[in-house]
Amino acid sequence: MQASQIEMVPFSPGHLDAAVALSRQAGWPHRAEDWQMALALSDGMVAIEGDRVVGTVLVTPYKQDCATINMVIVAKTMRGRGLGRRLMDAALRIAGDRPLRLVATTEGLPLYQKLGFHETGTVLQHQGLAGEIPAPAGTEAATADDLPGIMALDCLAFGADRENLLSYLAKVGAFAVIRRDGGLSGFACLRVFGRGEVIGPVVATNIEDARKLIKHHIARRPGRFLRLDTTAAAGLSPWLAEHGFAHVGGGIAMTNPSVGDAAAPAATTFALANQALG
């Protein structure tokens, strides 16, 4: 059956069980709750063959600043038939004129390049069991009053307003912060995800503060399975490996500037682990 015979329909909560099954087939760790979070923050489409979901894509808008394309999955039996291109075309229509970002697998890279995306960096996924370490000095649990400050820092680091994402994370996760000079200078989020928990996003003014914020969560989760995604440019990968979090894969960060670039991150802000939905 050709991809042209497949129906494309809006992604609804009724498709979540099938989406979970599709991501498991692809070897991804997402639970139903992880898909629910992604869908709550996104718009998307599913590809249907008969009564079977054979493809998914989600577009997460950050107001008009930019959008990220997530959860692009094509069933193994449908690969090589142009379905990935149809899903991406649908995503581009949903995104409208927003600048776009995504994290590509090696397999998906040629398609994204044909669509005008170019590489901006390398994402490195680290995971492992948290060891017993002392809690760092200078970090503390965030309060509800810290959320506006966290949002402001994140906007500087990410280059877009992720208010909806951070509000959601505040409900399902826990934030650690660093206070300096009467205000917030960094934060890190921890939430349940996949096989265990994920640390991210993390934003700090320097690499030492980033390490402290990560240690804040590690110290409180001895023996737990943790994941953290960083970038090659951040320089944290060797340090994470030394602390028992092996580099197990990753992806290629890409952007599509054809509709204009999103605001550039602040040069003085150190950011990592921003792929919070994947």
For the stretch 43-82, pLDDT in tens is 999 999 998 999 999 999 999 999 999 999 999 999 889 9
Q: How far apart are CA 102 and CA 92, in angstroms?
A: 12
pLDDT of residue 5: 87
Q: How far apart are CA 193 and CA 188, in angstroms?
A: 15
Are the beta carbons of 109 and 83 closer than 8 angstroms? no
Q: How far apart are CA 120 and CA 68, in angstroms?
A: 14
Q: Say if residue 247's pLDDT is above 90.
A: yes
Q: Say if residue 193's pLDDT is above 90.
A: yes
Mean pLDDT of the residues in the chain: 92
Which H/E stretch holds residue 144? none
- Predicted confidence band at 2 (pLDDT cuts at 50, 70, 90)? low
Q: Say if residue 4's pLDDT is above 70.
A: no
Q: How far apart are CA 271 and CA 101, in angstroms?
A: 16
Q: Say if residue 202's pLDDT is above 90.
A: yes
Q: Which two tokens stand for residue 266?
A: 């602040």
Average pLDDT on 127-154 reads: 97
Are the beta carbons of 195 and 29 closer than 8 angstroms? yes
Q: How far apart are CA 18 and CA 24, in angstroms?
A: 10
Which H/E stretch holds residue 77? none
Average pLDDT on 248-254 reads: 95
Q: How far apart are CA 169 and CA 198, in angstroms?
A: 12
pTM of the model as a whole: 0.91
**Residue whose pair of structure tokens reads 């990410």 in the numeric block:** 158
